[in-house]
Chain A
Amino acid sequence: MFPLAEKDKPIARLLFSTGTCPRCIFRFCSVDFHAPYKLPYKDLIRELENFLKTESDDLTLEATKPPLKKIRLQDGEAQIDNQSQNGGEMTTIVKDENMILEKSYLNACNICLGILQEFCEKKFIKKVCQKVESAGYEFTNLVFSVSFPPQLSVREHAAWLLVKQEMGKQGLSLGRDDIVQLKEAYKWITHPLFSEELGVPVDGKSLFEVSVIFAHRETDEDCHFLSISCPDCFKPAKNKQSVFTRMAVLKALDKIKEEDFRKKFPCPPNSPKGFCSAVEIECAHGAVFVAGRYNKYSRNLPQTPWIIDGERKLESSVEELISNQLLTVFKAESFNFSSSGREDVDVRTLGNGRPFAVELVNPRRVQFTSQDIKELQQKINISSDKIQVRDLQLVTREAIGRMKEGEEVKTKTYSALVWTDKAIRKKDVGFLDDLKDLQINQKTPLRVLHRRPLAVRTRIIHTMETHYIDEHHFRLHLKTQAGTYIKEFVHGDFGRTKPNIGSLMNGTADILELDVESVDVDWPPALND
């Protein structure tokens, strides 16, 4: 089971004597199967000690002395204070080594700063899982993401240079990629523990994310010398707290010359006093999406909150009436409402309704049967007589694209109550029924010009059907291309939509009421309730 071979011995001994933990030693010896990493830490220490001692103790001493001395000297170059304390005598070194072996049970590793030590212990995983459970999420799998302090990359680099040099002595080489990544080893150890504790698999594609951020204040300054060596890697950005991001540090490490690095940073890295700390343990669930169709029966209800100069014009909106119910049931953090087009505050949406979708951000509850969704739909419908929803269903993020496509290309049908200045008889409006695929040119309506570009858009009125009411009124049913401004087509918008109902009738027309009768988008699929 113990994975190190005779050829690994010099490296293992060198690293172990400088305060490196057994699992980091495995990593630098390119042990790329999982099992050894999962052994209990105590066993690893014991086995490693045995491994390093199997040959006679004399030999061990002989082999250990020279590299150790060299290390001390290098260390001294960087930290003159240390040298005076340690004296530099052979005896001290031997004593030091014993001390290190003793303390290995407790001391933080000089490379991983404890990540592959106490943060791999069941105790820590249990602590994370307790947080997960108390957060109250529904999940069937999880993805575990970790963020390590950036100085770990610096320390990893220093250890790599050290090991590379040692192997060079034996005529061997060690590429950056030959080392097992810290993140990889950490996953190998922790993933099975999470699975066992939470009873669900760890899956990189899971929407449920448990994230842990590690920090190690004591060694935060490890990175700072890099900003002097490679200033262009560390440009401040607005949304960054510190310039020393992991990516920037990696870039700088890639650029810096080996000798420059060695001058500025001890190889091996010195032993820290304490372990990393898990400064943040958080859970988040990826967004889920609900789609459906809504009817709007009120002429005093905007589609989205209507706020001017920070003041609410009307107390509610279609968006809120639907989404607030969803928000409660999904226990989500927030929502984003979208729909296939929109209607004005004074326009009703009848017929099969308008397709909409709601993104529920960071939902706690995500498992619903079709019966649950049906009940949810009823709940929304009972809550307000101004709106109704149908075809409510869970959908994927990708599917919502179809709704937005439909917004551009599909036709819509409307019913408008039209007033004319001139007295009309039934036969005066009938000619409109004969106009098929009438092409109109619409300048951006004045009512939206303040927020949209000025343009002339060509739109098609596919069909019209008139129903005479009295000498100043008729009802007009229209089927039009998406993106047609109906109100403007009726009243002409100061002659800016041409032709318009007024101009077609050689007079003035106005629109008194407008209803959307259908939005001809075939998504989401209709459900038979």
Chain B
Amino acid sequence: MASSAGGIAPAAPSLVDRYFTRWYKADVKGKPCEDHCILQHSNRICVITLAESHPLFQNGKTIKSINYQISANCSRLQNKVSGKFKRGAQFLTELAPLCRISCSDGEEYTVSSCVRGRLMEVNENILDKPSILQEKPSTEGYIAVVLPKFEESKSVTEGLLTQKEYEEVVVKRINNRSETS
């Protein structure tokens, strides 16, 4: 690693590459191309992000608002965890909605948890500055942090796609599109 100080362009893996495994879920809730990316840390913590192929990142869309109030009486902003054991966290199933993103073109996207676990926090930084979500979707533009149960730390990602599988899905999608057009 010391050689990287010598002025050669960084071949060093990024922060996400070093500590996280990327998992994907394509067409979440049957909505075409609404792909999510789950970053799982080696300590089992999951960071929920949107995959680069998500429609939000296409054709210069602008985000109008992000809303963590997912129903009349449930807001993800109200989630509070306390102590080492994170008491009081909201429990999320794979399908649990985390937030809704409205775009200026009238489209609305729902972000889902994709993994079972307890909600640690949602990213409030994107409320003030939604553009971060589009600029750095896999780091500062994350949606939420979820802590799976200890005994489910392996199984939560079982139904998800690996990086390679996801890339295949994306390639196939492009091929299909070019066939139909």
Q: Which residues of A contact B (CB under 8 A)?
A: 299, 417, 419, 443, 446-454, 469-473, 475, 491-492, 494-495, 508, 510, 512-513
Contact = CB atoms under 8 A, between A and B. Distances in A.
In the complex, the 3 A-B pairs of residues with the closest C-beta atoms, listed nearest first: A495-B140, A470-B7, A450-B43
A349 to B, nearest CB: 17
Nearest to B138: A494
Interface of B: 1-2, 4-7, 9-10, 12, 14-15, 19, 41, 43-45, 47, 81-84, 86, 120-121, 123, 125, 132, 136, 139-140, 142, 145, 147
Contacts of A494: 47, 123, 139-140, 142
A473 B44 contact: no
Which interface residue of B123, B139, B142 has the most chain A CB atoms within 10 A?
Answer: B139
Given A469-B7, A470-B7, A495-B132, 18 more contacts: A299-B1, A419-B10, A446-B41, A446-B47, A447-B43, A449-B43, A450-B45, A452-B84, A454-B120, A475-B5, A494-B47, A494-B139, A495-B125, A495-B139, A508-B136, A508-B139, A513-B1, A513-B2
Contacts of A446: 41, 43, 45, 47, 145
B84 A473 contact: no
A450 B140 contact: no
B121 A454 contact: yes
Contacts of A508: 136, 139
A453 B139 contact: no
Contact of B81 (A447, A454, A470): A454
Nearest to A448: B43
A492 B140 contact: yes
Contacts of A471: 7
Contacts of A495: 123, 125, 132, 139-140
A449 B83 contact: no
A447 B81 CA distance: 17
B147 A473 contact: no
26 contacts: A417-B4, A419-B4, A419-B10, A443-B121, A446-B41, A446-B43, A446-B145, A447-B43, A449-B45, A451-B84, A453-B81, A453-B86, A454-B121, A472-B7, A473-B4, A473-B7, A491-B15, A492-B140, A494-B140, A495-B123, A495-B139, A508-B139, A512-B1, A512-B4, A512-B5, A512-B10
Contact of A510 (B15, B44, B86): B15
A453 B82 contact: yes
A454 B122 CA distance: 12
Contacts of B19: 447
Contacts of B125: 495
Contacts of A449: 43, 45, 120, 145, 147
A258 to B, nearest CB: 53
Which interface residue of B5, B6, B19, B121 has the most chain A CB atoms within 10 A?
Answer: B5
B2 to A, nearest CB: 7
Given A492-B140, A510-B15, A447 B41 contact: yes
A219 B20 CA distance: 66
B152 to A, nearest CB: 13
A470 B12 CA distance: 15
Which interface residue of A448, A450, A469, A510 has the most chain B CB atoms within 10 A?
Answer: A450
A447 B16 CA distance: 12
Contacts of B121: 443, 454
Contacts of B86: 453-454
A472 B10 contact: yes
Contact of B5 (A417, A454, A492): A417
Contacts of A513: 1-2, 5
A469 B47 contact: no
A67 to B, nearest CB: 68
A491 B4 CA distance: 17
Nearest to B89: A454
A472 B47 contact: no
Contacts of A447: 19, 41, 43
Contacts of A450: 43-45, 147
Contacts of B45: 446, 449-450
A469 B3 CA distance: 12
A510 B139 contact: no
Contacts of B136: 508
A287 B108 CA distance: 66
B95 to A, nearest CB: 24
Contacts of B120: 449, 454
Contacts of A419: 4, 10, 12
B43 to A, nearest CB: 4
Contacts of B7: 469-473
Contacts of A491: 15
A259 B66 CA distance: 81
A453 B84 contact: yes
A470 B3 CA distance: 12
A126 to B, nearest CB: 54
B122 to A, nearest CB: 12
A454 B41 CA distance: 16
Which interface residue of B9, B12, B15, B45 has the most chain A CB atoms within 10 A?
Answer: B15
A478 B46 CA distance: 31
A495 B12 CA distance: 20
Nearest to A419: B10
Contacts of B145: 446, 449
Contacts of B1: 299, 512-513
A472 B9 contact: yes
Nearest to A492: B140
B154 to A, nearest CB: 10
B156 to A, nearest CB: 14
A473 B86 CA distance: 38
Nearest to B148: A450
A417 B43 CA distance: 25
A443 B45 CA distance: 15
Nearest to A502: B140
B20 to A, nearest CB: 9
A512 B9 CA distance: 13
B81 A512 contact: no
A71 to B, nearest CB: 64
